[in-house]
Structure 1
Amino acid sequence: MPVVVTAEYVVTGTRCSPSRRRRLAGFGRQRLSGCGQTRRGLLADPQWQPARTRARPTGGSFVLTKVFPIKLKPGKQADAEAVVGAFSPEGPQQEPGTLSFRVYRDPANADYLLFVEHFVDQEAYDAHTGSAAYKEFVAGQFAELIVEFVEIDHELVVGI
């Protein structure tokens, strides 16, 4: 499923003409200062509403979020990062239902990675975990490097 990124840029009141607001609608906050106010003035104006951008799958606003804290075997951080680096272009970057695939390291905690993944729906996640790349890299090579992992589903509460 394709992802639609929508953006709303709203200036209320009469400071800008309607045609000026339409021309500025395609630009971020920094361009809204062209209505004769500085950014500071716009932000202080109670009638000005900040830009809101949200990514959502077409047909609804549901996004499946998976978070995996992963404890690695001692001394396997570099190996794990290499496997993840090889997996990303072969798996998630090729999957239309994968909205984002991010892997974080904790500089204060050796042998640990945190995966944060977003999918358009459960079917997209199932396709991700059923792919040949997932089986080769994650279920195969990466599984050899971990002590444990926890799969945690999350629901978005606030987003900007």
Structure 2
Amino acid sequence: MSAKQITTFAKWEVKAGKLGEVLALLAKLAPPSRNEPGSLSYTVYQSNADPNVIVLLEVYTDETALADHRSSAHFQQIVIQQIVPLLENREVVLTTELALDDI
């Protein structure tokens, strides 16, 4: 596994009428996610154009920390079991920062 930081952009399109539920679940998810040993940042945004679009920006120390997050009890119980069924669409993009000075 790579030792490079991993940044995750997750775009969630919430089903009509389910935004309040998703936001309440996110309020429960964020604290334990931020307190994980490999979590450097965990920030939740809402689209200005469409309030039912939520974007999560997450930064982890490395791929192992991301894998630990995804296998954590709070991720499995809150995201997978409770939030995903409330979404119309879920897109996750994993990224590694480019060192443009080295190109």
Shorter-chain TM-score range: 0.7 to 0.9
Instruction: Decide which of 132, 136, 149 is 2:77's aligned counterpart.
Output: 136
| Alpha-carbon shift at residue 101 of structure 1 (Å) | 0.8
The structure, 1 or 2, with the larger RCO (C-alpha pairs under 8 Å, 6+ apart) is 2
Q: Equivalent residue for 1:63?
A: 5
| Alpha-carbon shift at residue 79 of structure 1 (Å) | 1.3
Q: Structure 2: how far apart are the matches of 1:125 and 1:154?
A: 12
Q: Flag the structure with larger Rg.
A: 1
Query: Cα deviation per residue 1:127-149 (whole Å; 9 max; x = unaligned)?
Result: 00101111111111111211111
SS of the residue corresponding to residue 49 of structure 2 reads: coil
Q: Structure 2: how far apart are the matches of 1:82 and 1:133?
A: 14
Q: Alpha carbon RMSD of aligned pairs, Å?
A: 1.5
Q: What percent identity do the matched residue pairs reach?
A: 24
Q: Equivalent residue for 2:93?
A: 152
Q: Equivalent residue for 2:24?
A: 82
Q: Taking structure 1 as the reference length, what is the TM-score of the superposition?
A: 0.56
Does 2:38 align with 1:107? no
Q: Structure 2: how far apart are the matches of 1:124 and 1:133?
A: 14
SS of the residue corresponding to residue 82 of structure 1 reads: helix
